[in-house]
Structures are given as structure tokens and as C-alpha cells.
Amino acid sequence: MRIDSLYIEDFKNLKQFTIDLDEKELNTVLLGQNATGKSNFIESLVLIFKYLDLSKAGSTPRFPEFEYVIKYKCRGHNIKVTCKKDGSSKKLAYEIYVDEEKQSYKSFFTNKEVYLPKYVFTYYSGISNKLKDHFDENQRNFYNKAKAKEVTKEDVEDFRRMFYVQLVHSYFVLLAFYTFEEEKTKNFLHEYLNIENLESVLFKFQKPEWQKKSNFQDEFMWGAEGLVREFLEKLWEISLAPIDVFEEYKESFRDSSNKQKEYLYLYVPTKEKLQELNKFYHTNTELFKALESTYISDLIDEVRVKVKKTNVNNEITFKELSEGEQQLLTVLGLLKFTKDKETLVLLDEPDTHLNPLWKWHYIDLLNDIYRNDSETESLDETTHIIINTHDPLVIGGLKKEQIRIFRRNPENGNVIAESAEKDPKGMGVAGILTSELFGLPTILDKETQLLLNRKRFLQGKLMRNDIANEEYEEYKIKKAQLEEYGFYEEVEDKWFQMYLAEMSKHEIIQQIEFTDEQKEMLEQASKLAVEKILKEMNQ
């Protein structure tokens, strides 16, 4: 699954917006200032595939609230979906082409497993629920299927197509990892999280809101059925000393008195005991699916996972790991489970809490998940990862084809998305920050840059013997101050000094930021200075 292009007529700040992606690349990284529409672009993709997924053959199709044209590749097919208002009724309607042949609603939506991505996997690191809320209906449909009385793990073969990642999933990832231990996974946990082993697990279940009558003693797990009951029965078998208890709690500080709720504690004392689940669940994906189904059934209140970390004397609970550790495990761990052909992965600032070293490795870690063969560099050609980031460390090894820069058109204020002019690869962090990719005027702090600019301006006047006494005294003070910071004139060759002498004729070189007119003027001045120096060199 690879996105080729998307046109949006009017969605939030994306108005008559077009983006063209390179469908040959696994990764596309979105750059740009805040409020330039990067998150809105990701949200629009979620809505597009949400409503295509919810639409059924024989029923009225579902639509987002905006018009769009999307082109993408999926399972060898070139697909174009146009969502636009009907000319007469002004109601939204689809026009769908597969390999340039027009499709009926029945033909397309009957074959969604062919024409839609296997998964749309989405992660958002912010505190807003605006993106999460879009997944509620798809999650409810999955929940209704999983809780049906006769349903087993064989009946719910896959995750739901639309999958939104939450922090609670990191607990389930860790449990699934240790139930089905693999050397590669153990190495990842040890190298990046310093986790040596899983020590124990305490599940705290709660009486769900949907059970208004029975207590646990009246009905096992409050009457849970289907995939959820199947998992809970297996967990009960490997647990020690189940405790059923009523506990007091407050929903918020506004409550004047405590409320009571029934809870059940199930304790799994060792990793080896947990691994008995693999006699029933054949893959870590199956186990994760069962855990998540139990969570969305409102049965899991808390999971306390104790782990052993390198150079830490005592066991610690998983929630004592740093936010960065939990974020890395949540995203990369879940991608390992949902790794499948024809997947669209949408990551909105997945690097928020990561340290610089992990950010530097991040793209490589993603690529490693989707590597076809550990012996080669070949990557899965049917998955598309779209990442929104503000960090130059993440993109340091990428090509320009993998970058799209969001900015506002100065003429009308509309958001536009452009390709990068140069490869970030090889630029270094300083080069990336001061390039078009991030647009910083300098990598120095503002005060130091102004000091350096003023000193160079005075230095140029000195070279032209056009400096006043008080300016010369100021120059010496600034030169000494900058030498304390490590800026020495001795490293500047004579040709640079000549260039500086010419450019210092323009006082605006002391500034940090420039208008377009000033940039054009300085560019012309620079060309003239270089021409003068070249003549001098050739004499």
C-alpha cells in the first residue's frame, strides 16, 4: 500500500491542497512549522480510509465531510477514489477507478480486502483526543464481534483495519514479547530499554460498566463472552491466589464521598508461568489481540508488569519506565505485531519523548521491522510509513524524495506541500537546521550570532582602513569575547577576509534574519564581491 497523491478541497486549514508523494519510498517524512497542516493531513487520511472501511456493498456509502481525490497503490492495483458533491443534489458521492476501469459501489466495497490497506495504523503523541475519536466506531464494531458468545480466536483472525495506538498497548506488547520470546526481541529490549527479564505480572480486573447486576461470585468474569472469556479462562488457569474484593474509589476530586467497585486480582508469578499461554495462543499477535479485546471490553483496570533492568538492584514496574522508553516500545512493538503487507502507518510525532541517540536510530529501527531479508537491505514495497516530526536527527539519513515540506503560500496564505531541493543525507544536523528543511537563520543563539555579525562587520571595516577609533576598541573587545567561545580569526584565509571586507560595506550583514528584498540585495552584493576576489586571484 503506497499513497501516490491526495487533493483536498477544504478540510480545516488544507484548502485546495495537493500533495504528491513518492510511492517508491517506504518512508515519507513531513516537515514544517506548527499549524501548517501536517497533523491535519494525517487526520484526513484517517477519515478517508475510515469511511471507505465502514462503507458496505448494498448500503448507502459513508463519507467524510470534505471533498477529495486520492490515488494509491494496493495489492498491485492502481486505485483512484474521488469524493465530490453531486452536481444536482450537492450530496457527496464516490467515483472509483481501479486500474483505470470505473467501479460500481458493489464491486469496490465487496472487494475491500483487495482494494483497501490491510491496516491503517495510527499513532499521535499529543494530549488531544481529536484523532483517537475517529476510531471509536471501527473499534466498537470489532468489540461487538469479539464479545459474541460463540466467538473464538479463530473467528477473529485479524486486528481491525483502523487501529489507533495507545499507551496501554505497551503493557500488552511487553507481555506478548515475553510469552513468545525471540532472540531479536530480547536484544532490542536489552539494548534500548535495558530490560533483562520479565519477573511477574499482576492483572487488576474491574466489574465493567455494562454489567449492572451480577458480581464475580455470581458469574465468572461478570459474564464476559467470546474471545474475551476464552482469554480470561486461560489466564485463570495459570494464575495464583485470585482475589475478589470491593474497593473504594473516587472518580474525581469533586466527589464528596468514596464509591465502591468490585475488582479481581490475578497474579502470574513468573515469566515461565506466563509462557504457558503459548500452548493455546500460537503467535504473539493472537495473544495481543486477546489482551486488547479484554481492555476494550472495559474489564482491565490495570496491568502491573514487573521487569528486571540492567544495573538496577530491585524490580521495577513497567510504568516506572521513562516516557521515552514506553513510547519507543509502544510504537515499534505494535508495528512488529501489525507488520503485514499492504499497511499504511501514520506516525504523528512518534519521537516526542525520545533521547537524541534513539531519534538518530529511529528510521533505521522502522526499516528493520519492514526489512524483507535480514541478509539484505531490501524493504517491504507494500507498506507506506508517513511520519510527522520536528527533529533534524530523525531525517539525517534520508533522501529528498522522502521529504515533504509544509508551508504557507505567501500570496494567499494557503498551505502547500513541496519536495525538498537537497538530500538531508550528508548535511549534518547544523546543515539541516539552516537549510530550507527547517529554515533557521543560524545554529547559534541569537546573542552570540549578533555578536559575531557585529565583530565581522567591524573586521571588514578594519581591512578597508575605514574604522573609527571607538569602533576599533569595540572590535578588540568583541574579538576577545568571541575567542573565549572558540572563534578565532586565524582560521580565516585571506580570500575570506577580502570577501568580508567587501560585504561589510553593507550594514545589514549584522542582522540575523532578512526580508526577501534584503536577501536579493545581499545575493547581488555577494556575487560582485566574489567577482572582485576572482580577479585579484588571477592577477
pLDDT tens, 488-528? 765 456 677 788 888 888 989 888 888 889 989 999 999 99
Asked if residue 382 lies in contact with residue 2, where contact means CB atoms within 8 angstroms, the answer is yes
Q: In what order do the strands lie in the sheet with 316-317?
A: 240-249, 259-268, 195-206, 300-309, 316-317
HEC string of 214-233? CCCCCCHHHHCCHHHHHHHH
Count of other CB atoms within 10 angstroms of residue 489: 14
- The pLDDT score that the predictor gives to residue 375 is 64
Helix (H, G, I), strand (E, B) or coil at 122: strand
Count of other CB atoms within 10 angstroms of residue 75: 16
Half-sphere exposure (Cβ direction) of 452: Cα atoms closer than 13 Å: 16
User: How far apart, in Å, do the first and last CA atoms of the chain sit?
Assistant: 61
CATH of 2-118+340-433, picked from 1.10.530.10, 3.90.340.10, 3.30.1330.10, 3.40.50.300, is 3.40.50.300
CA distance 322 to 372: 31
Domain boundaries, the chain: 2-118+340-433, 163-324, 446-538
Three cell numbers, residue 287: 495473544
Backbone dihedral region of 418: left (phi > 0), alpha (psi from -120 to 50 degrees) or beta? beta
Asked if residue 231 lies in contact with residue 154, where contact means CB atoms within 8 angstroms, the answer is no
Contacts of 15 (CB under 8 A, 6+ apart): 8, 9, 414, 415
Asked if residue 187 lies in contact with residue 146, where contact means CB atoms within 8 angstroms, the answer is no
- The pLDDT score that the predictor gives to residue 338 is 72
- The pLDDT score that the predictor gives to residue 157 is 61
Digit-by-digit pLDDT tens for the chain (539 residues) are 999 999 999 999 999 999 999 999 999 999 999 999 999 999 999 999 999 999 999 899 999 999 999 999 999 999 999 999 987 778 999 999 999 999 999 999 999 999 999 999 999 998 888 899 999 998 888 888 877 777 777 766 666 889 999 988 889 999 999 999 889 889 999 999 999 999 999 999 999 988 888 888 888 889 888 889 999 999 999 999 899 999 987 777 777 778 889 999 999 999 999 999 999 998 888 898 889 889 999 999 999 999 999 988 888 888 888 999 999 999 998 888 777 789 999 999 999 999 999 999 999 999 998 987 666 678 889 999 999 999 999 999 999 999 999 999 988 999 999 999 999 999 999 999 989 999 898 889 999 999 999 998 998 898 888 999 999 999 999 999 998 988 876 545 667 778 888 888 898 988 888 888 998 999 999 999 888 888 887 76
Is the dihedral angle over the CA atoms 10, 11, 13, 16 positive or is it negative?
Answer: negative
CA distance 362 to 359: 5
The string of DSSP codes covering 436-494 is TTT--S-SS-HHHHHHHHHHHHHHHHHHTT---HHHHHHHHHHHHHHHHHT--GGGS-H
- The pLDDT score that the predictor gives to residue 429 is 92
Q: Between helices 284-296 and 226-238, what is the axis angle to 10°?
A: 110
CA distance 84 to 89: 11
Count of other CB atoms within 10 angstroms of residue 520: 11
Give which of 392, 387, 348 is closest to 367, Cα–Cα. Answer: 387
**Residue 72 φ/ψ, nearest 5 degrees:** -150, 165
Q: Helix-strand-coil percent breakdown of the chain, rounded to 5?
A: 40, 25, 35
> Hey, which bits of 40-76 come out as E strands?
68-74
> Hey, which bits of 293-388 come out as E strands?
300-309, 316-317, 343-348, 384-388
- The pLDDT score that the predictor gives to residue 167 is 86
CA distance 35 to 221: 47
Please report where in the chains the cell 480486573 appears, as a residue: 205
- The pLDDT score that the predictor gives to residue 159 is 65
CA distance 225 to 158: 18
Q: In what order do the strands lie in the sheet with 77-85?
A: 14-20, 2-11, 68-74, 77-85, 92-98, 101-103
- The pLDDT score that the predictor gives to residue 43 is 98
pLDDT tens, 214-253? 888 888 889 888 889 999 999 999 999 899 999 987 777 7
Backbone dihedral region of 444: left (phi > 0), alpha (psi from -120 to 50 degrees) or beta? beta
pLDDT tens, 417-448? 999 999 999 999 999 998 999 989 888 999 99
**Residue 97 φ/ψ, nearest 5 degrees:** -125, 135
Q: What is the pTM of this model?
A: 0.87
- The pLDDT score that the predictor gives to residue 31 is 98
- The pLDDT score that the predictor gives to residue 373 is 67
- The pLDDT score that the predictor gives to residue 372 is 73
Helix (H, G, I), strand (E, B) or coil at 354: coil
Give which of 368, 327, 329 is closest to 195, Cα–Cα. Answer: 329
